[in-house]
C-alpha cells in the first residue's frame, strides 16, 4: 500500500499535477498512434504545451488583476473575509489519498469512455485535484474516523463517474457554441453551466445573440471586445474607488495606500486594462492549443478509446463568444452583490466572493446561456452562478466542511462542488452508519 501510495503521489505531482506535461504527453501519444511525421510530432507536442502555458499565463494575469477589484468592492460593502482556518494537518494527512482518488478516478473515466456511449476524457488536471480534495474534506467532516482505504474505494468511482458524465451533461450546449463535437467542457462549472443553458430557453423566442450586438456608427468602437471590457471594468473600479474615498474609513485609506506613490485611481485603471490583456492572452493560447490537441486526439480515439472526445478547461469556449463571456461575468458579479446583502441580513454570513470563480464560472455559464437565450440567457446564466456560489459557500462553510478545510472551500470551492456537497455528505453519513457501528 505504501508503494502504491508513493507511485500515486509521484504521478499526481509530476503528471496529473502538471497539466502542461500531461497534455503534451497526450498530444505526443496521439501523433505516435497516428504515425505522424517526426516534424509534426515535435511541433505539435511543443505547440500544445506552449499554447496551454499561454492560457495559464493569461489566467494568472486575470486572477492577479482581479485581486484589486475584489479588495475595493469588499471595502465598498464593508466586508472582510471571515477567519476560517483549515485543519493544519489535513492536506499532509490526506494528500496521498487524494492523489490515489485522482488516479483511480481517472482510470475509471477512461474505462467508462471505452465501454459506454459517453466518450469524454476529462483532462482538466487541476480541477480533478480540487474537487477530489474538497469532497474528501466533506466526508471527513461528517465521518472523522473514516479509513483512507474506504475513502479511496468510495470517492474514486464517484469522481470517475462525475468526470465522465459532467462533459456529457453540457455537450448539448457546448456543441451549439463550437459548431461540432471535437471538444467538450471539463470544469467544475459544468452543472451550473448546463442549468444556464437550460434556463436560457426561457428567452429562446426572438433571442438576440450576444455576438450579433450592433452599435451605432459613432459607437462602433465598442464592437471591439477589448475596448468594451476595458471601459466597463474601468467604470466599475472608478465607481468603487469613489465610494471608498467618500466613506473615508481607516481600512479604505490602508487599501488605497497599497498603490504606493501612484494614485489609487490610476492604479485601478491600469489593473482594469491588465484584466483585459489577460483575456486577450488566454484567447491567443486557446487558438494555439486547440489547433494541436484536437488533431492529435484522433490517434487516441482510433486506438485506445474509439471516438473519444477531449474534455478541456473552460477558456476553450471564450473565443467562440467573447461578448457572452463578459455578460456572464457581470451577471455573476451582480448576483454576488445581491447575495452579499441577503446573506448578511438573514444569516449573518459574510460572503466575500472569489472574483476568479465569478469570472471563469460566470463567463462559461454566460456562453452556454447565450447559446439558447441570447443576451438575456447569458446574463441569466451569470446570475445563476452568482446564486449557486453564494448559497453554496454559506452552506458548505457553515455546515458541511467547517471542521476540515473551510478556508480552502471559501476560495477554491466551485459551482459543482457546492451543488454536489450535500450528496457527498449523505454518502459520508451512510459510510459512518455502516463502518462506525
Domain encompassing residue 44: 2-435
Q: Return d(Cα 391, Cα 201) in angstroms, integer.
A: 24
Percent composition of the chain: helix, strand, coil (DSSP 3-state, to 5): 80, 0, 20
pLDDT at residue 183 tops 60: yes
Nine cell digits for residue 304: 485506445
Q: Return d(Cα 427, Cα 414) in angstroms, integer.
A: 20
Q: Return d(Cα 64, Cα 85) in angstroms, integer.
A: 23
The burial class, CB within 10 Å (0-12 / 13-18 / 19+), for 244 is: buried
Question: Which band of pLDDT confidence, cut at 50, 70 and 90, is reported for residue 344?
Answer: confident
Region of 209 on the Ramachandran plot (φ > 0 left; ψ -120 to 50 alpha; else beta): beta
pLDDT 10s digits, 89-122: 787 788 778 878 887 898 899 999 999 999 999 9
Range of 21-25, 47-51, 158-162, 260-264 with top mean pLDDT: 158-162
Q: Residue 196's pLDDT is what? A: 97
Mode of pairing for the β-strands spanning 120-122 and 309-312: parallel
Q: Return d(Cα 172, Cα 372) in angstroms, integer.
A: 11
Question: Which band of pLDDT confidence, cut at 50, 70 and 90, is reported for residue 16?
Answer: low
Average pLDDT, the chain: 86
Say if CB 370 and CB 327 are below 8 A apart: yes
pLDDT 10s digits, 398-427: 899 988 988 777 767 789 999 999 999 999
Q: Residue 217's pLDDT is what? A: 66
Q: In what order do the strands lie in the sheet with 184-185?
A: 120-122, 309-312, 184-185
Number of domains in the chain: 1
Q: Residue 272's pLDDT is what? A: 86
Q: Return d(Cα 48, Cα 51) in angstroms, integer.
A: 5
Range of 53-67, 238-252, 285-299, 370-384 with top mean pLDDT: 370-384
Predicted model pTM: 0.77
pLDDT 10s digits, 298-343: 667 667 888 899 999 998 999 899 889 989 998 998 998 899 889 8
Q: Which H, E and C letters describe 369-383, residue by residue?
A: HHHHHHHHHHHHHHH
Amino acid at each position: 500500500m505504501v508503494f502504491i501510495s508513493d507511485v500515486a503521489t509521484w504521478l499526481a505531482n509530476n503528471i496529473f499535477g502538471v497539466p502542461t506535461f500531461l497534455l503534451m504527453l497526450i498530444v505526443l501519444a496521439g501523433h505516435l498512434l497516428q504515425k505522424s511525421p517526426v516534424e509534426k510530432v515535435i511541433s505539435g507536442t511543443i505547440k500544445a504545451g506552449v499554447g496551454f502555458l499561454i492560457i495559464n499565463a493569461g489566467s494568472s494575469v486575470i486572477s492577479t488583476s482581479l485581486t484589486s477589484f475584489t479588495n475595493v468592492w469588499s471595502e465598498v460593502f464593508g466586508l472582510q473575509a471571515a477567519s476560517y482556518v483549515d485543519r493544519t494537518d489535513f492536506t499532509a494527512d490526506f494528500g496521498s489519498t487524494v492523489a490515489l482518488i485522482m488516479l483511480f478516478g481517472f482510470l475509471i473515466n477512461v474505462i467508462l469512455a471505452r465501454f459506454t456511449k459517453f466518450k469524454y476524457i476529462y483532462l482538466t488536471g487541476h480541477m480533478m485535484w480540487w474537487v477530489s480534495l474538497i469532497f474528501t474534506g466533506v466526508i471527513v467532516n461528517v465521518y472523522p474516523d473514516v479509513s483512507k482505504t474506504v475513502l479511496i474505494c468510495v470517492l474514486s468511482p464517484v469522481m470517475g463517474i462525475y468526470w465522465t458524465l459532467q462533459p456529457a451533461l453540457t455537450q448539448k450546449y457546448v456543441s451549439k457554441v463550437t459548431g461540432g463535437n471535437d471538444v467538450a467542457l471539463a470544469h467544475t462549472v459544468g452543472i451550473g453551466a448546463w442549468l444556464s443553458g437550460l434556463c436560457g430557453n426561457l428567452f429562446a423566442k426572438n433571442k438576440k445573440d450576444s455576438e450579433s450586438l450592433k452599435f451605432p456608427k459613432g459607437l462602433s468602437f465598442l464592437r471591439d471586445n477589448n475596448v468594451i471590457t476595458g471601459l466597463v471594468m474601468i467604470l466599475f473600479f472608478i465607481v468603487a474607488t469613489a465610494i471608498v474615498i467618500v466613506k473615508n474609513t481607516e481600512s479604505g485609506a490602508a487599501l488605497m495606500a497599497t498603490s504606493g506613490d501612484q494614485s489609487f485611481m490610476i492604479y485601478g485603471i491600469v489593473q482594469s486594462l491588465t484584466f483585459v490583456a489577460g483575456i486577450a492572452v488566454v484567447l491567443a493560447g486557446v487558438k494555439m492549443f486547440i489547433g494541436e490537441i484536437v488533431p492529435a486526439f484522433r490517434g487516441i480515439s482510433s486506438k485506445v478509446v474509439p471516438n473519444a472526445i477531449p474534455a478541456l478547461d473552460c477558456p476553450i469556449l471564450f473565443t467562440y463568444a467573447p461578448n457572452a463571456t463578459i455578460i456572464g461575468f457581470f451577471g455573476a458579479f451582480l448576483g454576488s452583490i445581491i447575495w452579499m446583502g441577503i446573506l448578511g441580513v438573514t444569516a449573518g454570513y459574510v460572503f466575500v466572493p472569489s472574483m476568479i470563480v465569478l469570472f471563469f464560472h460566470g463567463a462559461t455559464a454566460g456562453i452556454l446561456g447565450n447559446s439558447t437565450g441570447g443576451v438575456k440567457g447569458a446574463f441569466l446564466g451569470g446570475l445563476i452562478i452568482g446564486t449557486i456560489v453564494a448559497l453554496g459557500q454559506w452552506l458548505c462553510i457553515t455546515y458541511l466542511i467547517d471542521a476540515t478545510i473551510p478556508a480552502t472551500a471559501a476560495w477554491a470551492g466551485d459551482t459543482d462542488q457546492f451543488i454536489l456537497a450535500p450528496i457527498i455528505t449523505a454518502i459520508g453519513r451512510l459510510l459512518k452508519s455502516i463502518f462506525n457501528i
